[in-house]
Structure 1
Amino acid sequence: MIEGVYVGWEAVRECFSLDPAVAYLNHGAFGAVPLSVQRAQQRLRDEVEADPVRFYSVGLTERVAHTRRHLATFLGADPDASALVGNTTIGVATVLNSLDLREGDEIVTTEHGYGAVRLAVEAVCARTGARHRTVPLPLAPTDDEVVAGITEAVTGRTRLVIVDQITSPTARLFPVARVVAALRPADVPVLVDAAHVPGQIPVDVTALDAAFWTGNLHKWAFAPRGTALLAVSPEWRERIRPLVVSWEQPAGFPANVEWQGTLDYTAWLAAPTALFTLRTLGVEVVRAHNAELAGYGQRAVAAALGGDAPTGAPGLAMRIVPLPGGLAGDLAGAARLRQRIADELGVEVAVNPYRDRGLLRLSAQVYNRAEEYDRLAQRLPGLIATLA
């Protein structure tokens, strides 16, 4: 038993349909949906199939708007300045689609950014002639290093800065409010990639005052996969171009972003049940439990590998453990190692390359137990030895 971890979590495991033979230590990848939320979504699917015309034709936009108000309020965002989207990557793509980029313009990201976002930026730059500038940062940068690195990379041609609130491959908490404030005098818009924020840490989107903020609710807020929010500042709302033009185009933002005809809206409509589940368990209690357990897992695995791990932010439920040099140093190698850990050890983890070195990322959620991290710590060195 870990000090500070509530003993009742063993019973909570029964609220999920995860395979008991697998230690699922990778909640940060795709989340895990509680049974209560699965059932709520299934009832909505049954409603669709009972009368599809009625479901899509009578009051659906109002139901989506009601859900958006519920989720936005939880995140401290303005419901009328937010739109539901399928995931953070779609939120980023929507913002990129709304920029009038020209040859020589620049988009700034950091070395800690998510791979799919990097690919999206590179694609829009290739199409428009804009330039992608990547800010190099240490594995465990200080807040001052993050702010200085980004601000020094900004030029008179910078049209957008994308910064992670919680970085995906490196599990760092970045000072996004400071970045936004530092760039405000230069009138450079900031897009906050908050894929891992909703549910994991407290957030007040309005107070951040970024031009754009987008985060998933299907990771740490128990929502069905395909549920995310894109918040947009007042000066940008009229300029948002949806990725799909639909019958709600004349309505403008946010309805023109949300409505995509026969999209499966049941994930969004079931999301309030997810927040109810989270609140029932106790939002702060869950956060404290997850952060404590993630720290325990990081220490156990790092010690087993004979090394130290970067100190993570106290409130994060994701931690990283650097792997031995030369292991999983690229995407292909990281994918192979992750699969071997899953197949041979029965443990799901994330493995990401960073500067030619692999990083093992561990997550913690209410269904996890300390013994699962201990099992990984005991068996991972033997697996790695076979790769030497």
Structure 2
Amino acid sequence: MSVPLPPEPIPGARLLFSLDPAVSHLNHGSFGAVPITVQRAQQRLRDEMEADPLRFFTQGLIDRITHARRHLAGFLGADPDGTALTVNATTGVAVALQSVGLRPDDEVLTTDHGYGAVDFAVRRECHRTGATHRVLRVPLSATTEEIVQIVRSGLRPGRTRLVVVDQLTSATARLFPVAAIVGVAREHGVSVLVDAAHAPGMLPATVQSIGADFWVGNLHKWGYAPRGTAVLVVSPPWRERVEPLVVSWEQEAGFPGRVEWQATADYTGWLSAPVGLYVLRTLGVDRVRAHNAALAAYGQRVVGDALGVRPADLPDPGGPTVAMRIVPLPAGLATTMDGARALRARIAERLAAQVAVNTWDGRGWLRLCGQVYNSPDEYDRLAVQLPTLLDQR
């Protein structure tokens, strides 16, 4: 079976970014890349802040944050009054976890595809409250129906208080049927927290169509916002119970203000985030999604072929707009977190390529992303050079 053709490049897209041209940036999903226009918009706001800090923080800043939040919520299909800006999805998860009010007889259900930092947060909250953390194993090859059934079978009515599930997983680039999982959990009176760190900008599903009790997503990955821009979306029954991690002067304002206002934080990233969506819309949202997904699929095939992986053994992400793909590494490589980090660093140093290397289910996986600033030859070079580097272990 031949390698699929890469997509046609989007003219001028590479010039929108200030990335080092000597490096192949094939890991947009970790920290994103901020377009130059967005960088400049944020710098203008920082200049304004430094020119008169008292005026910036005390005259209209809350209204400006509200305006930015409404713009971002509209793009995501979320209720602006139920949306709070926060610095990242992990922070949103922590806010949600502490707001649920876990008790010693409760349990939190997650899957083995969950993000490591979120797992840490769940364990800490369970340790603090006496609740139990239980992990469901979901095979990489599981169908949508099988995933829903695994969650359904894993629920323990009267015990399971919260399900935490990824919309798109970081380690395995797996798309989860979150709306169906929410429906199943609701049948049993169980709340759901959706970790949608990679969804904003990449996936077309709206927040309201999912219907989760809590939904968190990063704008600084696929939404071209400055880093430190994320949202926590909360359903109406929970909003009055949501408490910030740190209490500040908007505590009496209720949600979302009490979560957003953190005194002298740098809010310029939030205020300039709508410019990132403007860049995305100018390029064409559907066009960018289709390009990035096709490019990631191309990269997966050429690298997989170079490593001797049969096309049938290359995991399918489960959706046409997923711009991340994974390739299984040879047995014995990156089987621990330290090993994965070391291999990623070696690839960056020796091949001038930034990729993600993860450990999942006892083996190592290479994760490749596609973005408008990438070109097919970057994946081709990696495919040529990577086998030799891996043989040098």
Aligned to 1:143: 144
SS in 1 for 2:347: helix
User: How far 1:6 moved relative to its partner?
Assistant: 2.8
* SS of residue in 2 equivalent to 1:362: strand
* CA contact 1:133–1:153 (8 Å) conserved in 2: no
What aligned pairs does 1:261-280 form with structure 2 within 5 A after superposition?
Answer: 261-280=263-282
Alignment of 1:310 onto 2:315: yes
State how far apart, in whole Å, the 2-side matches of 1:7 and 1:130 are.
50
CA distance, structure 2, for counterparts of residue 2 and residue 45 of structure 1:
45
Shift of 1:2: 7.2
Q: CA deviation at 1:148?
A: 1.3
Which of 204, 209, 212 does residue 211 from structure 2 map onto?
Answer: 209
Q: Does structure 1 residue 343 correspond to structure 2 residue 349?
A: yes
Amino-acid identity (%):
60
2:370 aligned partner, one-letter code: A
The correspondence of residues 239-258 of structure 1 with structure 2, limited to 5 A, is 239-258=241-260
Q: Secondary structure at the match of 1:98?
A: helix
For residue 30 of structure 2, give the secondary structure of its aligned residue in structure 1. helix
Q: What is the aligned partner in structure 1 of residue 104 from structure 2?
A: 103
Q: What does residue 387 of structure 2 align with?
A: 381
Aligned residues: 386
Asked if structure 1 preserves the Cα contact closer than 8 Å seen for 2:110 and 2:163, the reply is yes
Q: Which amino acid aligns with 1:192?
A: V
**Contact conserved, 2:173 with 2:324, CA < 8 A, in 1?**
yes
By how many angstroms is 1:21 displaced? 0.5
Q: 1:49 to 1:228 in 2, by over 3 A?
A: same
Counterpart check, 1:22 vs 2:45: no
CA shift digits 1:141-187 (9 cap, x unpaired): 21112111112111121111011000110001110000001111111
Secondary structure at the residue paired with 2:367? strand
Larger CA deviation: 228-237 vs 309-318: 309-318
| RMSD, aligned CA | 1.2
Check whether the contact 1:2–1:370 (CA below 8 A) recurs between aligned residues. Answer: no
Instruction: Name the structure 1 match of 2:43.
Output: 42
Matched-pair contact (CA < 8 Å) for 2:82–2:236: yes
Q: Distance in 1 between matches of 2:187 and 2:298?
A: 42
1:85 matches 2:86:
yes
Distance in 2, Cα, partners of 1:4 & 1:365: 12
The 8 Å contact of residues 30 and 225 in structure 1, kept in 2 or not, is answered as yes
1:104 Cα deviation (Å)?
A: 2.7
CA spacing shift, 1:8–1:231, aligned 2, 3 Å: closer
- Report the counterpart of residue 220 of structure 2 in structure 1: 218
User: How far, CA to CA, are the matches of 1:343 and 1:166 in structure 2?
Assistant: 29
Aligned equivalents of 1:7, 1:139: Cα separation in 2: 31
Map 1:277-292; keep pairs closer than 5 Å. 277-292=279-294
Asked whether the 8 Å contact 2:6–2:295 carries over to 1, the reply is: no
TM-score of the aligned structures, taking structure 1 as reference length: 0.98
Q: Which amino acid aligns with 1:380?
A: L
Unaligned runs of at least 5 residues, structure 2: none
- 1:203 deviates by 2.2
Output the amino acid matched with 1:311.
Answer: D
Q: Secondary structure at the match of 1:353?
A: strand
1:188 to 187, 190, 195: 190
Task: Check conservation: 1:15, 1:35, Cα contact below 8 A.
Answer: yes
Alpha-carbon distance in 1 for matches of 2:9, 2:101: 54
User: What SS is found at the alignment partner of 2:295?
Assistant: helix
SS in structure 1 at match of 2:388: helix
Q: For 1:292-371, what aligned pairs fall within 5 Å after superposition?
A: 292-307=294-309, 308-312=313-317, 313-371=319-377
Looking at structure 2, the residues matched to 213 and 311 of structure 1 have their Cα atoms a distance apart, in angstroms, of: 25
Alpha-carbon separation, structure 1, partners of 2:233 and 2:31: 22
SS in 2 for 1:319: strand
- Secondary structure in 2 matching 1:18: coil
